[in-house]
Structure 1
């Protein structure tokens, strides 16, 4: 812009020019205000429009489309709860990175950002943040077979992080204070998950991601290794515009506070409660068996799932936990076959030969459906399937005892997290002596359910199959249970943590 005044021939001409310029400037400013003003983030305005606009990202820890085609994710569930509280609908604007999501809020396009946003000093100067949703640790990631760096000064190769990442703040600080030779690249196209894939494939030496995202992906990429922590634990929170009406921020904080530790823990458990259940070796073993053993039994799982209204991958996950898909497996307690059915269970399911893989799979599917049907309608998915898994492992009687204990301790007997927290009591005499069914190996059951949940997640990803078989008519007519099924159609009960890659 040229700030030099133009010469005029008279004072009147100058005055007219000045007035004209002032009017033009005013019109321009008003025009800019009319077209670029931030979207109101006030609760009253949001209720008036009936729409809560949220900037987010695709991530297994934030938001993604589950195997059944439904929207899921830890932060998505909380955002949906906030929208329901306000009585409005949610409109999601998906950004490539958390930094881009923050730009959508700063520009006024969206009311808030729910995008795995790290709270940093620089960001706090530009935006306002909700109460902490969870804490994570930024971690260096490298590939198995490479030397594990003890610090950032030992990096030998390329370090790449997503663009507009809060990690740049940490790296710049470390470069200034400790490692002047530190170099890194930023990617305009790759998310944290995509960079993890590149490291796993040997196409990239290092990246840095948050610990929750890494823990989930370690199951899918067994060659990844967690290295040093880049920073102390950091808060993940929602971001809101700085200045103006802060009623939406205050409403979000009230909701998070009212949810309390218990309810928030239940939501976190749905997505993060089992991510460390299987180690790297276990993940690699499953991936191998999925290629070598699973194909010959997949049709059997699909047929049984179709008959009993289940997800075939959940049946396969149960079978993998039971036998690693080994039809000759025999446990020390005498259970046999691919589904490791006891003799009494095989008789109850009317099996002629429990070691025959097709009979065993069909019997296991029918037995799992029986466990599902014996739960009251008040237990909804995904808690319903997790409790059925516990009953499949320990018996429905012990599960009912655990539900009673959860209720007596002030918990919610319809929530798996509360029931799981009560399960260890069934191995303590002062508690199991007061129950109807007595002692149970309940700690084993906790591990069992966690493993099956993890194996299910991995199979969803490994098979890339989002379809669910349709049940046949009267599939449960011979189960001997008068309890209603969860639904007339099959469900995907464990729609969690399918990585978006």
Structure 2
């Protein structure tokens, strides 16, 4: 009996040991991974910021380097992307800490301090902190950290730039700076441009992508060394999401996409000079705001993008309703008497008549362009015809074809339009002499204005969304606690 009891205890101990040994395998077998949960739910939560380089809404929908890259990853997993848009950099990290987001995709630099607290993906870009200043006659550019002492220097709160300044503070005890959690890097550049602060310190990628839209700003020197940029990931023991992200980022297809997105979002260039850019911004504030609704109406009537129409109007009159040229054309769209009569405009100086009439006239010209010509060339031909006349445009296409080049390509035809001012060429075509260089410059200028208008509107939209978010948060904080209805109070407390 005693033997049997002892034997039973031995068997029980053995079974217990076997269960303990097998438990990790059993748990691993029965527990699905973080990646599998994401795929099963059909969505991945991505936190980002509402900035020109990360994420914003344009006329075609969501856009931005980080958005497009994260969307490509979501597509790779065959899931939807759910965006979380915190107002601050600290808010981004909080979404990871609270596990509200699976990924932070917002151009975040990796640093030693951040690596101690957060999980990062394989880097996909590099940047370095750059000191930005406003060019002023008689004021030398800062050359070192010592030149920032006693000056107003602005950086984003919780940014890598703030972290770097904190690290170098012991070596420069008199160094001070201002931080902001409410602004974006674009706003900070605005502050330097308007001379509200002396210097800003931002990522080199951000500055290089926006510098041409802030003529007069320049980079002085860099701080620290180049820092890798990566996604921040929710920590998870199984590591499945991190492996999937890294595998995605290392694919040749993804590397090609990153290169394409870098060119699209970080290599934007403002083709206007300093004076033209400043004047355009001023005219946007003082003139366009009163006319914008009319361009929207014309867009609905003709299907032309309102920014295209507004850019034509700026090229024609700088948005002046009473503009008059020496040749007698007048109004915002600078219509001739004949063109106004064709589209039924009675008063060329009436803004809404001029804008709607100009759009209708452009549509008439566009209908004359062969349908086989693809966009955007079809529109560029229409603009050239709007400027110089359809007949002269056709003459230039004839010259283009004679030279064995493509008369349906704007880049080819624009080489031959200027030849219409030379007798050797205009004497051989139907409509004769024309100032052919003008439509070439006309189209080039409108392209420039479209690009600058898109940029300014993009920034306005981002700021509007940010302000709305701040107001909503403030309203939520200020609302009184809900009152308890009397009938819901229990008889005893």
Provide the TM-score with structure 1 as the length reference: 0.60
Q: Counterpart in 2 of 1:50?
A: 42
- In 2, Cα distance between equivalents of 1:269 and 1:236: 17
Corresponding residue of 1:456: 454
Find the counterpart in structure 2 of residue 113 from structure 1: 104
Match of 1:102 among 93, 96, 111: 93
Judged with a 3 Å threshold, the aligned counterparts in structure 2 of structure 1 residues 262 and 368 are, in CA distance, closer, same or farther, namely farther
Runs (5+) with no aligned partner, structure 1: 1-39, 397-425, 465-495
Q: Distance in 2 between matches of 1:375 and 1:450?
A: 25
Q: CA deviation at 1:124?
A: 4.3
- Match for 1:283 among 277, 281, 284? 277
CA 1:167–1:388: 2 relative to 1, 3 Å: farther
Contact 1:274–1:451 (8 Å) recurs in 2: no
Label 1:373 to 1:441 Cα distance change in 2 as closer, same or farther (>3 A): closer
The CA distance in 2 between the partners of 1:50 and 1:373, in whole Å, is 49
Matched, 1:184 2:157: no
- Taking only aligned residues, the RMSD between alpha carbons, in angstroms, comes to 4.8
Q: Distance in 2 between matches of 1:497 and 1:212?
A: 20
Larger Cα-atom Rg? 2
Between 135-144 and 82-91, report the one with greater CA deviation: 135-144
Matched ranges for 1:241-390 at <5 A: 241=234, 244-256=237-249, 257-259=251-253, 263-294=257-288, 297-298=291-292, 300-325=294-319, 328=323, 338-339=332-333, 346=339, 361-366=355-360, 390=380
* Alignment partners' CA distance in 2, 1:373 and 1:113: 50
Q: Secondary structure at the match of 1:164?
A: coil
Give 1:47 deviation, angstroms: 0.3
CA distance 1:288–1:109, shift in 2 (3 Å): closer
Task: State the SS of the aligned residue for 1:150.
Answer: coil
Inter-CA distance 185–362: structure 2 relative to 1 (3 Å threshold):
closer
Cα deviation per residue 1:124-150 (whole Å; 9 max; x = unaligned)? Answer: 454222341x44443223456565322
Q: Relative contact order (alpha carbons < 8 A, sep ≥ 6): 1 or 2 greater?
A: 1
Give the C-alpha shift of residue 157 in structure 1: 1.9
Structure 2: tracts of 5 or more residues without a match: 1-31, 387-396, 416-439, 468-493
1:435 equivalenced with 2:418 (yes/no): no
The answer on whether the counterparts of 1:390 and 1:446 sit within 8 Å (CA) in structure 2 is no
Distance 1:159 1:296 in 2: 36
Match of 2:473 in 1: none
Deviation at 1:113, TM superposition (A): 0.9
Task: Report the Cα distance in structure 1 between the residues aligned to 2:208 and 2:311, rounded to whole angstroms.
Answer: 20
Structure 1 residues 57-109: Cα deviation after superposition (integer angstroms, max 9, x where no partner): 221211234468x5432211222222222222222222333354234335543
Q: 1:139 aligns with which of 107, 130, 133?
A: 130
3-state SS in 2 of match to 1:182: coil
Deviation at 1:121, TM superposition (A): 4.3
Q: 2:231 aligns with which of 220, 226, 238?
A: 238
Shift of 1:285: 0.4
Residue pairs, 1:61-140, within 5 angstroms: 61-66=53-58, 70-106=61-97, 108-124=99-115, 126-132=118-124, 134-140=125-131
Q: Displacement, 1:46? A: 0.8
Contact 2:153 2:178 in 1 (8 A): yes
String of CA shifts for 1:203-239, please: whole Å, max 9, x gaps: 4433212244446666776675544333555443322
Distance 1:141 1:293, change over 3 A: same
Q: Report the TM-score when normalising by structure 2.
A: 0.61
Q: Between Structure 1 and Structure 2, how many residues are aligned?
A: 389
Residue by residue, what CA displacement relative to the aligned partner does 1:307-327 show, whole Å, maximum 9, x if unpaired?
224453442123224543357
